[in-house]
Amino acid sequence: MHRTTRALALGVASAFLGVAALTGCSGSDDEQEGTQTLVVSTFSFGVEAFQEAVIDPFTAETGIQVEVETGSNSDRLSQLQLAAGDNPGIDIMLISDYYAALGQEDDLFAEVDQSAIPNLSEIADFAVDDAYNGPAYSYQLNGTLYRTDELSQEQAASWDLYGDAAYSGRLALPDISVTAGQLAISGVAATYGSGPYDVDTAFAKMGDWAPGILQFYSSSTEVTNLITQGEIVAADSLNGFATDLVASGEPIAWTPPSEGAYMATNRVMIPKGAANVDAANTFINYLLGVEAQSKSAELVGDLPVNPGATIPDELTDVVGDIATDPIAAGYQALDPTELVPTRSEWVDRFAREVTGK
């Protein structure tokens, strides 16, 4: 999901732009009704870069026209829920893993036909997860964004930093409403408790830290402003928040945690009732290919799931060799079956036991 501050704030609400009017159809019905535009629903940030990196080359290669719709994860999923599988109006949805799992709970997404997508065999194992009906096309790493003129990498990599009285009032943590929020909770739970879903331990620990936390942020803009202005020395954040800051020469870096390292994935899903499944499969196959993955890394800032993709220096300057194999570097993805049923309860508890302190 995302060129850093321009393109990384999964879970942050934005306006949904509506459904484009379409005519005709594609695939096996081409001869009968003409070619229909493939409708792709994606995030509202980084759209121009995604158009240049993926959409335009896809159309040039396949001749398939693409209509792009944008909006937040929650808004777009709500629109799909209203359609309830009856003429959803879109053929592809690019969405973060948690919201993909929510949609699956409501039976909104079809399982992709793996035989129709040869590039599925080329991508990393973690990107083809049986828990999801569609593959991951990119991912985000959780860690700490920090000022190098204030902290060492070793200090920033330790979760203990957030409870260090020496930096009280100069730290930030993500709210549970954003992608980094659940990843941080699970990191704390795994570090101090019995595992990534031990929220009793996580909420108790983060509640203890809360008086020294300047802000529980809900957007990338909030946290990057705080750290560039020197109001905070560190914040738990996704890796993409650091890319532009590091490239600009700010005394800022990003580090993975020394333990409790979790990542989120962005999935490509086909809604049930989609009108253009054949074209959707063609798009997914293209999106997972080396060319699109390389261009998306270069122009959008996405970490690629295809090991053959070229990773630009501006990404490796932030995450180093983790980009080549996050699993080998110690990162894990969370199990959606553990998160979806408990989400409402955990959101309520986080407000009472953490941010309410």
Angle formed at CA 76 by CA 49 and CA 56, multiple of 5 degrees: 25
State residue 85's pLDDT score: 61
Quick one: pLDDT band at residue 26, thresholds 50, 70, 90?
very low
Q: Is the pLDDT of residue 186 over 80?
A: yes
pLDDT surpassing 90 at residue 16: no
Q: Per-residue confidence at 76, pLDDT binned at 50, 70, 90?
A: very high
- pLDDT value of residue 87: 85
CB 326 within 8 A of CB 316: no
Q: Is the pLDDT of residue 41 over 80?
A: yes
For residues 347-355, average pLDDT: 98
How high does pLDDT run on average in the chain?
Answer: 90
Q: Which residue has the higher pLDDT, 74 or 265?
A: 265
What's the confidence (pLDDT) of residue 260?
98
| Domain ranges within the chain, ordered by starting residue | 4-139+264-324, 141-262+335-355
Q: How confident is the model at residue 35 (pLDDT cuts 50, 70, 90)?
A: low
In tens, the pLDDT along 189-212 reads: 999 999 999 999 999 999 999 999
What is d(CA 33, CA 26) in angstroms, rounded to the nearest whole number?
A: 8
What is the average per-residue pLDDT within 250-271?
98
Does residue 23 carry a pLDDT above 60? no
Per-residue pLDDT, averaged over 48-56, amounts to 97
141-262+335-355 placed in CATH 3.40.190.10:
yes
Higher pLDDT, 170 or 31: 170
Among the ranges given (5-9, 198-202, 214-218), the one the predictor scored with the smallest mean pLDDT: 5-9
**Does residue 31 register a pLDDT over 90?**
no
Region 36-48: what's the mean pLDDT? 91
Q: What is the pLDDT of residue 163?
A: 98
| Burial group, residue 199, by CB count within 10 angstroms (0-12, 13-18, 19+) | buried
Above pLDDT 90, what percent of the chain?
85
State pLDDT tens for residues 94-121: 999 999 999 999 999 999 999 999 999 9
The reply to whether 141-262+335-355 shares the fold of 4-139+264-324 is yes
Q: Does 279 score more than 80 pLDDT?
A: yes
Q: Is CATH 3.40.190.10 correct for 4-139+264-324? A: yes
**22 pLDDT exceeds 60?**
no
pLDDT tens, 80-96? 999 876 789 999 999 99
Predicted TM-score of the model (pTM): 0.87
